[in-house]
Structure 1
Amino acid sequence: MKKTTPLLLLLVFGLLAGVFGGCAAQDGSLMPAVVVTATPTARPEGVKTVLRVGTGDSGEGLTPHFKIIEMFEAANPDIQVQLEPVGSGDYYARILTQIAAGDPPDLLQIGDDAVPMFVDKGAFLPLDDFITSEQYPLDASIYLPGVMEPGKWNGVQYLLPKDFSPLAIYYNKKLFDAAGAPYPQEGWTWDDLLATAQQLTLTDASGNVTQWGIQLPGPWTTGFEYWVAAAGGRLVSEDGASFVGYMDSPEVQRAVQFYADLYHKYKVAPPPADMNAFGGGNSEFDSGKAAMRLFGRWPQAGMKQNPNIDLGVAPLPAGAQRAGVLFWGGFGISSLSENPEAAWRFLRFYTGAEGAAIWKDWALPTVKSVADSSGLSSDPIEGVWLNELNHLTPRAYVFTPYWGQTADPALRRVLESVILDPNANVAELLTTAAQEAQAALADVKQ
């Protein structure tokens, strides 16, 4: 799924509130209520149930969808599946327009941090009864650890996983070998990361940096949640009610200060090329001018083909604790679908073992047996990504559907400030950010 910026999500969620506000009951649920039952009346012989599937994927990314649909239709001749991709523009806005018109696809693809808002407004059917049904059950134990969790809200499963990416550290073996530096391994720490980055940061006779130790993702707030978790901190209370006392805690201060010091005090990371670009807009790692890069799996295929890089992938280093975060996309059944049982039959195939056997050629599979049988679990690169699933910490959006409207912008301002200003006072910035987020939360709840 295409990545969506916090600002865009804010605008989309604003539209969402307006759309659902016009067709919702006073308790916020969609009207009319949907009662899930078995398909009531048999269709005339030869007439197929037509399912529509909305996706934000496009181009070559549609190939696995079509392959899985072809397999499903061959095994289920009573159902025809129509894929509805949004090749350009805003996918969420398209969905919202369709919901407002009462005509969304039967199945919808949603990214992780949009799940609470869409579910909270009643856009999806709960899946728990489907999962435990007698006729078409789903064994949830087939999935890799952690990949079901982003599809839940308030303990109820609403979506099933399509694909995912943890964070990890890319490294260029060419640069490590030239410096005689050991490759990073499981069990390394922030101190080890710093020492390695310092060893691999090179300067010329004039003191100009010719090679950087690590490329960081700039003021990317969701990626920064790893640093917070590894420092032993959290950004919001478990009940989602408080930012003060969390965003401004000593643990979060430590995370922000260490991140800032990598840029300024230790000078092992290049400044962001574009503060507004996803991940900072830097190209040093791709050009062979940075030895490491912290990021998700999304650019890996291109890195493997890059002649400047002999690619390795290392686990995330531990701070006060070992931690990681997950980025995720999944599918759920629209609460306005007229064919929920047929939609479930396709969803369990699409996101189950059959579908994962196809998805694995485009992304990491979500099903453990597929990861194991394909050799991905033991692969020196892919196995690192899969192992990160054993160290996940819930992201902040899990605890409040208002994260993107309140604390995310405040955290971004902190990161921008410490990256741009080497003398920034981290404690003061976080105190202000926590208070601003708290005030914004109070406003949005009014």
Structure 2
Amino acid sequence: MTTFSRRQVLLSSVALAAGLGMSRAFAQSDASATLRVQAFGGDAELAGINSAIGRFNAKYPNVTVEVSIDPISTGWGDYVTKVLGQFTSGSPADIYGTAIETFQAFSSRNLFMPLDDFVAENTGFSDFAPSLFEQGSYKGVLNYIPIGWNNIMINYNRDLFDKAGLAYPERGWTWEQFRETAKALTVRDASGTVTQFGYEVPNQNFFVQPWFFSNGTGILNADWTASNMLDPKVAETLQFLYDLIHVDGVSPIPGAEMMDNQFMAGQVAMINRGQWIVQNAKANGLNMDIAVPPRKEKEATIIGFGAYAIAGNTSNADLAKALVLELTSEETQREQGERGGGVPGRKSAASTEAFLAFPPSAFLYYETLPFTVPVPSPANFQEVEKIFIRHYTAMMSGQESIADGCKAADAELTESFTRLKQQMGG
């Protein structure tokens, strides 16, 4: 992972203007066609996409752009299934917005066109962190143009901390300090019913992974080729989360629905989320800030990022490339980042006063880059995610013991990787 100093993060966009202005498009301005874009995200992402399409149509007035946006409310595994279904049925989009969790799943099936020459011919892409392009390649071929990224942080309600008389979290806080903080932020009525939870134990794969990383472990091995569920540190991490629910009573059992609404309403004091939550926090006037996840063995969190890919069988490749230039432009990235659509991949777009103004510790997004770990994203990600979450939720609810859940998940993951190896000719 490429690292950045505070000074580098705050580089003036003026210094990059020359490079940013040298992007090339390839299509004729009088071209006529319809482009379909399958995007992901919420209002912030859609607003930025529509602005980009407006600029694109100023150059290509005869091109109609149709956008479908997926909120990814049930995880990236379901998105993989959805996109594969579009290709299988013969009705794929021309451009896909997707994320690192899906890269190997899509590229191993040769769904998207190589973009190495496209990037080489458009020097404006030099404003992106090089590591994003490295992670957007599969077997040495670049299929993905990066956009925004997210690292999971502890998002917390400052008003609830103030009401409880608690100091805001500082870098280096520990699991036990987090636990005591969550206890202090949990409120019960006279009958003992919780009216305010201190924390939401996550219900999604991406949200929960920092707990493993900060304990020096992960549910998969380092190169994402096998299960690591039998590592004692995995069970230790799961036990800690289980105890937050069943021993300390600071969190409900993870359910199918996320607790974003409860967080916005002041019913949950802390949750694990990325920068995308900023758009809702602003809309709800929430006095929110972020903290680096607590450490057990080391300071660590997860990073995932979005990107655009172009279908390999599109009949409008040049127009699709021209639209991708707008969708990944500094202007689009700045708008989406300031609205809360993720940390911009372009350093210039992440250095504006508006982006750094909220939450108050927004500078921490980039400060965590030196110790972020990419979300484990093997080619069988959709199976890995479903297997892990199924056993994770069973363990968190007490339907399955930690020991039995880890063994069962390990067996299923091992079978999945065996099938993957056979499919890949290994």
TM-score (norm 2): 0.79
Instruction: Give the drift of 1:393.
Output: 0.5
Does residue 1:412 correspond to 2:395, yes or no?
A: no
Tell me what 2:346 maps to.
367
Instruction: Give the drift of 1:366.
Output: 2.1
> What SS is found at the alignment partner of 1:358?
helix
User: Which runs of 5 or more structure 2 residues have no equivalent in the other structure?
Assistant: 1-24, 72-77
Tell me what 2:15 maps to.
none
Question: Aligned partners of 1:191, 1:144: CA distance in 2, in Å?
Answer: 35
Tell me what 2:405 maps to.
429
Tell me what 1:28 maps to.
none
Tell me what 1:258 maps to.
240
Contact 1:167 1:295 in 2 (8 A): yes
From 98, 105, 117, give the equivalent of 1:129.
Answer: 117
Tell me what 2:184 maps to.
199
From 218, 233, 250, give the equivalent of 1:234.
Answer: 218
Contact 1:138 1:348 in 2 (8 A): no
Does residue 1:285 correspond to 2:263, yes or no?
A: yes
> What SS is found at the alignment partner of 1:227?
helix
Tell me what 1:294 maps to.
272
Tell me what 1:35 maps to.
none
How do 1:292-441 and structure 2 match up within 5 A?
Answer: 292-306=270-284, 309-362=286-339, 363-364=341-342, 365-377=344-356, 379=358, 380-397=360-377, 400-405=378-383, 407-421=384-398, 425-441=401-417
Partner AA of 1:124 in structure 2: F
Larger relative contact order, structure 1 or 2 (CA cutoff 8 Å, min sep 6): 2
RMSD: 3.3
Question: Aligned partners of 2:308, 2:202: CA distance in 1, in Å?
Answer: 28
Contact 1:217 1:295 in 2 (8 A): no
Tell me what 1:176 maps to.
161
User: Which runs of 5 or more structure 1 residues have no equivalent in the other structure?
Assistant: 1-37
Question: Aligned partners of 2:246, 2:130: CA distance in 1, in Å?
Answer: 37
Going from structure 1 to structure 2, the CA distance change for 1:64 and 1:253 (only over 3 Å counts) comes to same
Partner AA of 1:107 in structure 2: I
Going from structure 1 to structure 2, the CA distance change for 1:300 and 1:394 (only over 3 Å counts) comes to same
Question: Aligned partners of 1:214, 1:329: CA distance in 2, in Å?
Answer: 27
Contact 2:37 2:96 in 1 (8 A): yes
From 45, 48, 54, give the equivalent of 2:31.
Answer: 48
Partner AA of 2:55 in structure 1: M
Partner AA of 2:350 in structure 1: A
Question: Aligned partners of 1:282, 1:139: CA distance in 2, in Å?
Answer: 34
Partner AA of 2:123 in structure 1: P
Contact 1:51 1:343 in 2 (8 A): no
Tell me what 1:270 maps to.
252
Aligned length: 388
Going from structure 1 to structure 2, the CA distance change for 1:97 and 1:236 (only over 3 Å counts) comes to closer
Partner AA of 1:376 in structure 2: F
Going from structure 1 to structure 2, the CA distance change for 1:172 and 1:435 (only over 3 Å counts) comes to same
**Deviation digits for residues 74-119 of structure 1 (CA, Å, limit 9, x no counterpart):** 4x45x85432223689976775566457664432222332221211
Going from structure 1 to structure 2, the CA distance change for 1:235 and 1:156 (only over 3 Å counts) comes to farther
Instruction: Give the drift of 1:144.
Output: 4.5
**Deviation digits for residues 358-406 of structure 1 (CA, Å, limit 9, x no counterpart):** 3334323221112213442465143333434443202221xx211322x
How do 1:22-37 and structure 2 match up within 5 A?
Answer: none
Moved more, 290-299 or 254-263: 290-299
Question: Aligned partners of 1:390, 1:51: CA distance in 2, in Å?
Answer: 42
Question: Aligned partners of 2:89, 2:245: CA distance in 1, in Å?
Answer: 49
Highest Rg: 1 or 2? 1
Contact 2:37 2:66 in 1 (8 A): yes
Contact 1:165 1:327 in 2 (8 A): yes
From 95, 108, 113, give the equivalent of 2:96.
Answer: 108
Instruction: Give the drift of 1:145.
Output: 7.3
Question: Aligned partners of 2:142, 2:215: CA distance in 1, in Å?
Answer: 30
Does residue 1:120 correspond to 2:108, yes or no?
A: yes
Tell me what 2:20 maps to.
none
Contact 1:175 1:291 in 2 (8 A): yes
Instruction: Give the drift of 1:159.
Output: 1.0
Question: Aligned partners of 1:360, 1:304: CA distance in 2, in Å?
Answer: 13
Identity of aligned residues (%): 26
Question: Aligned partners of 2:260, 2:283: CA distance in 1, in Å?
Answer: 18
Question: Aligned partners of 2:376, 2:390: CA distance in 1, in Å?
Answer: 17
Instruction: Give the drift of 1:182.
Output: 0.1
Question: Aligned partners of 1:145, 1:137: CA distance in 2, in Å?
Answer: 13
**Deviation digits for residues 296-354 of structure 1 (CA, Å, limit 9, x no counterpart):** 333433333436x4322222222212222234332112212344344334323421324
Partner AA of 2:197 in structure 1: W
Contact 2:98 2:306 in 1 (8 A): yes
Going from structure 1 to structure 2, the CA distance change for 1:375 and 1:282 (only over 3 Å counts) comes to closer
Instruction: Give the drift of 1:58.
Output: 8.6
